[in-house]
């Protein structure tokens, strides 16, 4: 299973303490998760990253995508979340299937 959609966040809210936002995305499928790199002080980030998970091992009906604000001192802040039905997510097919076994 692969999600290869360019992710864009727009007009992210600033942290009330720092007045900035250092956003990253966490993709969660059941017990599996992946993270993007974070951007420093970016209110309109654009991620171009692919996550591939083995479909045979996934025991979830949904893909959860969290946007978080990286905090260097305390716990990262939650900004937002979107959920996709597993049937809406693209699967990798030949000739690209060899890239993510």
Write the CATH number for 18: 2.60.40.150
* Structural domain count, the chain: 1
Domain hosting 52: range is 2-94
> Can you give the pLDDT at residue 90?
66
- Whether 40 is covered by a domain: the verdict is yes
Specify the 3-state DSSP secondary structure of 74. Answer: coil
d(CA 96, CA 64): 24
Spell out the SS3 assignment of 4-59.
CCCEECCCCCCCCCCCCCCEEEEEEECCEEEECCCCCCCCCCEECCCEECCHHHCC
- Whether 7 is covered by a domain: the verdict is yes
Q: Which two three-digit tokens encode residue 37? A: 């790199």
- Whether 101 is covered by a domain: the verdict is no
Q: What is the pLDDT of residues 20-67, one digit of tens each?
A: 999 999 999 888 889 999 999 999 999 888 887 777 777 888 889 999
- Whether 100 is covered by a domain: the verdict is no
Residue 10 has pLDDT above 70, yes or no: yes
């Amino acid at each position: 299973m692969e999600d290869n959609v360019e992710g864009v966040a727009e007009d992210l809210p600033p942290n009330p303490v720092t007045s900035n936002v250092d956003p990253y995305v966490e993709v969660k499928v059941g017990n599996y998760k992946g993270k993007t790199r974070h951007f420093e002080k970016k209110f309109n980030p654009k991620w171009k990253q692919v996550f591939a998970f083995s479909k045979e091992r996934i025991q979830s009906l949904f893909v959860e995508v969290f946007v978080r604000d990286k905090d260097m001192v305390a716990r990262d802040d939650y900004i937002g979340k979107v959920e996709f039905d597993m049937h809406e997510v693209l699967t990798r097919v030949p000739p690209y299937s060899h890239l993510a076994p």
